[in-house]
Amino acid sequence: MRVFFALLCSLAFISSALAHDYKVGQIHVDHPWTKATPAGARVAGGYMKITNQGDQVEKLLSAQTDISERTEIHEMAVVNGQMTMREVAGGLVIKPGETLELKPGSFHMMFMGLKKNPAEGESFKGKLVFEKAGALEVEYKGEAMGQKPQGHHH
């Protein structure tokens, strides 16, 4: 029985070490991550889940990281029948009670002018700035490269 509990405790410890989430004001940010990119890549995408637990509209105004010269907040849009991405104008809106997932093929962060290529298993620091909640320091985790390269039409 004792062994069983010890095992349970260590499993709980491992899963809490893997999950990472952050909170500022009424904003909850879950699991910021990036897809590992090959050496030489100039851009990388950043993803996470943002939940607005408040009763007012919140906006993600800007973001930055230690590994990029600048970071843009992008959305996907169809232009002339082709899927392209563009910068979100005026900040990314998160409605009260909404969980917005930044993920490949949808809203995402774009790390531009990479100073370092994020590798699988590595993490790096970043900062998110919300209109009402203010600044939040987060850590992005590098996860395995996907099978197909991301389409970039900048």
Using rule CB under 5 A, residue 73 touches Cu ion: no
The least distance separating Cu ion from the CB of residue 87, rounded to whole angstroms, comes to 8
Taking the least distance from each CB to Cu ion, the nearer of 110 and 133 is 110
Binding map of Cu ion across residues 84-103, x = CB under 5 A, - = no contact: -x------------------
Taking the least distance from each CB to Cu ion, the nearer of 102 and 133 is 102
Using rule CB under 5 A, residue 35 touches Cu ion: no
Using rule CB under 5 A, residue 74 touches Cu ion: yes
| Residues whose CB is less than 8 angstroms from the CB of residue 47 and which lie 6 or more positions away in sequence, other chains included | 32, 33, 34, 35, 101, 102, 103, 104, 108, 109
The least distance separating Cu ion from the CB of residue 63, rounded to whole angstroms, comes to 12
**Amino acid identity, position 144:** A
**Amino acid identity, position 135:** A
Residue 103: C-alpha distances to residues 6, 12, 33, 95, 151 (Å): 36, 27, 9, 18, 14
Using rule CB under 5 A, residue 63 touches Cu ion: no
Using rule CB under 5 A, residue 114 touches Cu ion: no
What are the tokens at 40? 């030489």
Using rule CB under 5 A, residue 44 touches Cu ion: no
The least distance separating Cu ion from the CB of residue 69, rounded to whole angstroms, comes to 15
Taking the least distance from each CB to Cu ion, the nearer of 52 and 71 is 71
The least distance separating Cu ion from the CB of residue 142, rounded to whole angstroms, comes to 17
DSSP 8-state secondary structure symbol assigned to residue 11: H
The DSSP line for 35-92 is E---TT--EEEEEEEEEE-SSS-EEEEEEEESSEEEEEEEEEEEETTEEEEEEPTT-E
- Residues near Cu ion (CB under 5 A) are 74, 85, 110
